[in-house]
Chain A
Amino acid sequence: MSAPTTTPHPTGTAGGSTTRRRRRGPRTWLAALPLLVFTALCFGIPLGALIFGAVTRTDSGSGVTSLTGEHVARSLQGPYLGSLIGSVQLSVLTALIGAVLGVLIAQAVVTSRSQGLRSAALTASGVLANFGGVPLAFAFIATLGISGVVTQLADLGSLDWDLYSFTGLAVVYLYFLIPLMVLVTVPALDGLRPQWREAAQNAGATPWQFWRHVGLPVLAPSLLGGFVLLFGTAFAAHATAAALVGGSVPLVTLKIADALSGNVLTGQENVALALGLDMILIAGLVMAVYLPLQRRSARWLR
């Protein structure tokens, strides 16, 4: 990683010419300055405003701003707490199902001999994992909504099927979570070298013993990392849920959107900020788990 251009040249170290040699250092630093300034302004300031607003209260009469834990406390009570819990439940459930199904599909793709199937599955996963948001919601409304094609054909209405519910939302979320898991797992499964299985077989191990002592321990960081990534993705998703269920399922992203667009009592903006802070803390926790896991799994993936 060290850049040869900046290593001090032995010829220049004796005299005053070192200053000239060093000039490239500050100059390259300047090229990175716009990016740093931009992130500080456009990311740092809103983030700062969010945190500041979440922990302070401004008295409307005197204009005095004081520190308070009131908003954060409010965001952890009643319907707000319910929405946080709802989001976490939905994310854990969908991430769990998505991780299991994603691994099954990835395993099927990796063990198949067909190169065509493999590249088709990977390309399709790459596309589908990015297919969240509004279009996905409408595709599912057309399919499994009240007058959706599949709903009509299979007469799901009589079976109490409801797309605009917790279960419905989970079915929709899986549409982009499973491909995401496939993308994360295929390289990990590739890293499971055939030689290890052969060695285990030669040593007299059963397939179960192979998975128990070699396969799963090697895969564990990638699988956990994939689960956490899926959780984070489902947790932060807003557009799909907003286009699909509006307000009927308690989700923290929908509550924040409600509070921001003024659908609730005035003076709730700070609670929205506190909810945003709660979300960042949870997402930050998730990343703190994900990044070390990813680094650990990278060891096996060449």
Chain B
Amino acid sequence: MAAMTPTAQETAAVEAKSPAPDVTRTRRRRPGIRRGLVLGLAGAYFLVPLVASFVFTVHVPGQGISFDAYTQLLSADGFTESLLLSLGLAAATIALSLLLAVPALIAVRLGSPRLRPVIEVMCMLPLVVPPIALVTGITTVLRWGPEHLSRTPLYQTFIAVQNEKFPVVLVLAYAVLALPFVYRSLDAGLRAIDVPTLVEAARSCGASWPYTVVRILLPNLRSSLAGAAFLTLALVLGEFTIASLLGFQPFAVWIVSISGAQARMSVAVSILSLVITWALLLLLSRTGTASAASAPSRKES
């Protein structure tokens, strides 16, 4: 999961920024061949598993081509439930992490620059803690519930956050995991606009604080908000470790649970989830490029 560090958005910004160096005109032929070889081998390594898994799902040995693995998906036991659970968790996580991070980051820009390093460290710390270590901590805390707090009102909270239907504890854990990505995306967006000037202009025209934030700042941050939301969505849809160890069954856990009995279907679902993630991230890099084009002063660091 920590692999999400460089975002597709950063990639897009890099693309937009740097024209290809064209000093290579005088190059000899050998580097060209070597380059072709490198890129060809890399292309093969990255394409073969994708093509092969598709072939695996549609080609049944001895029976020929069949799309059953895909058509039977919708009626498969637990498919809709787990997918809906994952989407619900993703929506809640996005809402929570944006609600927490947006005011904090705007505040840091506006009036509390001294808080800046504190917020930054707090948002980046989850990168140091692997999800599996976080979940060992969470299980320990959850065990306190029945052991020490069974006679206090807090106990009810412990039960409530572990509701099978909608495990709030997962939302909280995912929001922690998403924090570094949300922070980076928002920070880059805020860096591109002059927050104090915008706010002062709006305030001196008589705009209220909520109006200033909702109608002036947020529209300017649209692409980085979208970026944060997409990355969080991709993270939650693919998350396996925490959910499986806490005993819930969102999408990724469900795929593993059916793999034993229905190998073909589990691969089909994997391809689908790859396609969905791919589409999301392409969309994200599209919005990223658009914002980079409209704000040429933007600097990525």
- Asked whether any CB of chain A lies closer than 8 Å to the CB of B156, the reply is no
Q: Are A32 and B137 in contact, CB atoms less than 8 angstroms apart?
A: no
Q: Are A108 and B111 in contact, CB atoms less than 8 angstroms apart?
A: no
Q: Are B11 and A126 in contact, CB atoms less than 8 angstroms apart?
A: yes
Q: A3-B196, A28-B107, A134-B256 are in contact. Are A139 and B131 (CB under 8 A)?
A: no
Q: Are A38 and B252 in contact, CB atoms less than 8 angstroms apart?
A: no
Instruction: Name which of A42, A177, A253 has the most chain B CB atoms within 10 A of its CB.
Output: A42
Contact of B245 among A108, A243, A260 (CB under 8 A): A260
Q: Are A127 and B39 in contact, CB atoms less than 8 angstroms apart?
A: no
Distance of B280 from chain A, by nearest CB (Å): 9
A118 vs B39: C-alpha distance in the bound complex, in angstroms? 11
- Which residue on B lies nearest to A1, using beta carbons? B113
Number of chain B residues whose Cβ lies closer than 8 Å to a Cβ of chain A: 110
Q: Are B140 and A238 in contact, CB atoms less than 8 angstroms apart?
A: no
Q: What residues on A are CB-neighbors of B278 within 8 Å?
A: 127
- Asked whether any CB of chain B lies closer than 8 Å to the CB of A20, the reply is no
Q: Are A138 and B14 in contact, CB atoms less than 8 angstroms apart?
A: no
A63 vs B245: C-alpha distance in the bound complex, in angstroms? 27
Q: Are B127 and A287 in contact, CB atoms less than 8 angstroms apart?
A: yes
A34 vs B232: C-alpha distance in the bound complex, in angstroms? 19
Q: What residues on A are CB-neighbors of B195 within 8 Å?
A: 3
Q: Digit string of B29-45 for contact with A (CB within 8 Å is 1, else 0)?
A: 00100110011001001
Q: Are B119 and A35 in contact, CB atoms less than 8 angstroms apart?
A: yes
Q: A149-B52, A236-B130, A236-B131 are in contact. Are A260 and B277 (CB under 8 A)?
A: no
Q: Digit string of B168-198 for contact with A (CB within 8 Å is 1, else 0)?
A: 0000110110010000000000000001110
Contact of B23 among A4, A48, A197 (CB under 8 A): A197
Q: Are A134 and B136 in contact, CB atoms less than 8 angstroms apart?
A: no
A49 vs B133: C-alpha distance in the bound complex, in angstroms? 11
Q: Are A27 and B111 in contact, CB atoms less than 8 angstroms apart?
A: yes
Q: Are B52 and A142 in contact, CB atoms less than 8 angstroms apart?
A: yes
Q: Are A130 and B132 in contact, CB atoms less than 8 angstroms apart?
A: no
A149 vs B54: C-alpha distance in the bound complex, in angstroms? 10
A137 vs B107: C-alpha distance in the bound complex, in angstroms? 42
- Which residue on B lies nearest to A119, using beta carbons? B15
- Interface secondary structure of A, over-half rule: helix
Contact of B136 among A105, A133, A273 (CB under 8 A): A273
- Asked whether any CB of chain A lies closer than 8 Å to the CB of B139, the reply is yes
- Asked whether any CB of chain A lies closer than 8 Å to the CB of B206, the reply is no
> Restricting to A41-55, which residues have a CB under 8 Å from any CB of B?
42-43, 45-50, 53
- Interface secondary structure of B, over-half rule: helix
Q: Are A5 and B200 in contact, CB atoms less than 8 angstroms apart?
A: yes
A207 vs B140: C-alpha distance in the bound complex, in angstroms? 58
Q: What residues on A are CB-neighbors of B281 within 8 Å?
A: 123, 126-127, 130
Q: What residues on A are CB-neighbors of B19 within 8 Å?
A: 115
Distance of A301 from chain B, by nearest CB (Å): 8
Instruction: Name which of B24, B112, B277 has the most chain A CB atoms within 10 A of its CB.
Output: B112
- Asked whether any CB of chain A lies closer than 8 Å to the CB of B88, the reply is no
- Which residue on A lies nearest to B267, using beta carbons? A142
- Asked whether any CB of chain B lies closer than 8 Å to the CB of A125, the reply is yes
What range describes how many residues of A lie at the interface?
Answer: 35 or more
- Asked whether any CB of chain B lies closer than 8 Å to the CB of A92, the reply is no
Q: Are B115 and A32 in contact, CB atoms less than 8 angstroms apart?
A: yes
Contact of A5 among B11, B110, B263 (CB under 8 A): B110
Q: Are A31 and B18 in contact, CB atoms less than 8 angstroms apart?
A: no
A140 vs B266: C-alpha distance in the bound complex, in angstroms? 12
- Asked whether any CB of chain B lies closer than 8 Å to the CB of A292, the reply is no
Q: Are A130 and B110 in contact, CB atoms less than 8 angstroms apart?
A: no
Q: Are B14 and A139 in contact, CB atoms less than 8 angstroms apart?
A: no
> Restricting to A28-83, which residues have a CB under 8 Å from any CB of B?
28-32, 34-36, 38-39, 42-43, 45-50, 53
- Asked whether any CB of chain B lies closer than 8 Å to the CB of A209, the reply is no
Q: Are A50 and B35 in contact, CB atoms less than 8 angstroms apart?
A: no
Contact of B238 among A6, A135, A256, A257 (CB under 8 A): A135
- Asked whether any CB of chain A lies closer than 8 Å to the CB of B104, the reply is yes
Contact of A111 among B24, B45, B128, B196 (CB under 8 A): B24
Q: A29-B111, A139-B267, A283-B129 are in contact. Are A125 and B11 (CB under 8 A)?
A: yes
Other 16 A-B pairs with CB < 8 A, given A49-B144, A133-B238:
A2-B113, A6-B110, A6-B113, A29-B107, A45-B137, A46-B138, A47-B129, A112-B35, A134-B238, A143-B49, A149-B53, A176-B3, A179-B46, A194-B21, A238-B132, A280-B129
Top-3 shortest CB links A-B? A46-B137, A28-B111, A126-B8
Q: List 11 A-B contacts (CB under 8 A).
A: A39-B179, A104-B38, A134-B255, A135-B270, A139-B274, A149-B59, A180-B6, A186-B14, A242-B240, A257-B132, A283-B129
**A interface residues (Cβ-Cβ under 8 A, vs B):** 1-6, 24-25, 27-32, 34-36, 38-39, 42-43, 45-50, 53, 101, 104-105, 107-115, 117-119, 121-144, 148-150, 174-180, 183-184, 186-187, 190, 194, 197-198, 229, 232-233, 235-239, 242-243, 253, 256-257, 260-261, 269, 272-273, 275-277, 279-280, 283-284, 287, 298, 301
